[in-house]
Amino acid sequence: MFVAGLMFPGLFALVLAGIPIAFSLAIVSFAAGLVAFGPHIFNQLYGSLYSASTNFILSAIPMFILMGAILERSGIAERLFKTMQLWMGRLPNGLAVATIAMGAVFAAAAGVVGAVEVMIGMMAIPAMQRYRYDNSLIAGTVCAGGSLGTMIPPSVIAVMYASLAQLSVGELLAGMVFPGLIMIGLFIGYLIVRGVLSKPVDHGIVDEEQALPLAEKLKITAGTLLPVIALIVAVLGSLLAGIASPTEAASVGAVGALILCIAYGRFSFKVLRESLEITVRISAMILLIVAAGTMFMGVFAANGGGQLIRNFIESAGIGTVGMIVFFLVVVFVLGFVLDWTANVLICVPLFTPFVKAAGIDPVWFATMVIIVIQTGYLTPPMASSIFYLKSIAPPDMTYAQMCRGVVPFIILQIITLALVALFPETATWLPSKIVGF
């Protein structure tokens, strides 16, 4: 157990030294594995690598990434943002509300966090600055809208979590629906209230688009929003109904995204090649971390890691509620150092046996873990969302403004977590009613 206790400090030291997370996991696994397995370490690590590479559920991840990559280049995001402006532009903080709404829809269509944030940021930042929105509000809104790719189904994180925890992907995605809607509602409500209470700054949208007749607005909306909704329904509907496996549903999404790209006249072999290149690059990164994470957790268990955690929980006498809080705090703290992939890979296999033994609903617990991961995604100083934003932010938007901007949305995510914790039915009712019908 002593070696198991040294594995996490060793991992953090390597990550903070700048070594990529996949290699950090593999190095620590090899060093600790020598203690547990001796000369047979290579056979054990190969077994972990083979197990990760042959996991059928994980094969859905490249298809979801391909779907998002094609949508990113199809022009659909630009059309969505303009459609949201048409209907929400006159609300208090209307462009910010439109950004959150567009993030929610694009998250449901793409499921990849970074792609959602970069796409909405490139369109929303210039538009909001043109109408004199505060830089902190712009930064917080773009980061919060992008983070919805974590919580809104279909989410790549949910697919990976379900695979590791041996949960139904459909059940977990269904369990995330209501918490995701609650979060979106809190985001939009906050922006509208802030817009009403703030100093009178002209955020009104006076473009000619706002003067369009209702029939024209409906025509534009039907041509943009309905195809995306149809794609979302095709992916999630087939998955929740039990008609398609996660990989098959993701493939439906990729084909649907390709059809939309062709329909909007944006298809070319260059677009297809770039989309495939992005898919290969991101998939390789994720699956390499999966393989290294599987090695890490196998070696951790072989060195008595499970018993180490069990002894701590029993000696602390914290009970079931305390155990849940402890696990969620661990996920949140790890989010400061590790990206979501490594966080899920380390925590889910570690916590799942204890969750099952305590009789905790796995979908409810998984939903709370994913909310915490999303919160960590926004929380400085190591917030992934802020690093994504800095890559596209104008020079006058400072790091301090970004950090201030995300704070209200972090609080709203914590409120969402509290609601799900106090009312488990928000995560458990829908899976019991619709999955597989």
DSSP states of 135-185 as a string?
Answer: HHHHHHHHHHHHHHHHHSSS-HHHHHHHHHHT--HHHHHHHTHHHHHHHHH
In a domain, 47, yes or no: no
In a domain, 390, yes or no: yes
**For position 110, what pLDDT does the model report?**
65
Give the whole-angstrom CA distance, residue 195 versus residue 74. Answer: 33
At residue 115 the predicted structure's pLDDT band, cuts being 50, 70 and 90, is: low
pTM of the model: 0.82
Instruction: State the Cα torsion 234-240-242-243 to the nearest 10°.
Output: -10
At residue 413 the predicted structure's pLDDT band, cuts being 50, 70 and 90, is: very high
Total number of domains constituting the chain: 1
In a domain, 308, yes or no: yes
In a domain, 1, yes or no: no
Residue 354 CB neighbours (<10 A)? 19
Query: Which is more confidently placed, 330 or 290?
Result: 330
Highest mean pLDDT among 110-114, 361-365, 399-403: 361-365
In a domain, 45, yes or no: no
Query: Which is more confidently placed, 107 or 371?
Result: 371
Amino acid at position 297, single letter: M
In a domain, 357, yes or no: yes
**11 has pLDDT over 60:** yes
**For position 183, what pLDDT does the model report?**
96
**For position 207, what pLDDT does the model report?**
53
Report which of 289, 399, 298 is spatially closest to residue 349, judged by C-alpha positions: 298
**For position 437, what pLDDT does the model report?**
45
**For position 192, what pLDDT does the model report?**
92
Highest mean pLDDT among 201-205, 250-254, 325-329: 325-329
Question: Up-side HSE of residue 266: CA atoms within 13 Å toward CB?
Answer: 21
Give the whole-angstrom CA distance, residue 279 versus residue 236. Answer: 21
In a domain, 254, yes or no: yes
Amino acid at position 192, single letter: I
**232 has pLDDT over 80:** yes
**For position 239, what pLDDT does the model report?**
79
**For position 175, what pLDDT does the model report?**
93
**381 has pLDDT over 80:** no
Tens-place pLDDT, residues 53-83: 777 767 788 888 888 788 777 777 777 777 8
In the chain, % of residues over pLDDT 70? 93
Residue 67 contacts residue 110 (beta carbons within 8 Å): yes
Residue 289 contacts residue 11 (beta carbons within 8 Å): no
At residue 176 the predicted structure's pLDDT band, cuts being 50, 70 and 90, is: very high
Mean pLDDT of the chain: 83
Amino acid at position 403, single letter: C
Report which of 341, 318, 36, 414 is spatially closest to residue 160, judged by C-alpha positions: 341
In a domain, 76, yes or no: yes
Domain of residue 333, residue span: 57-291+302-434
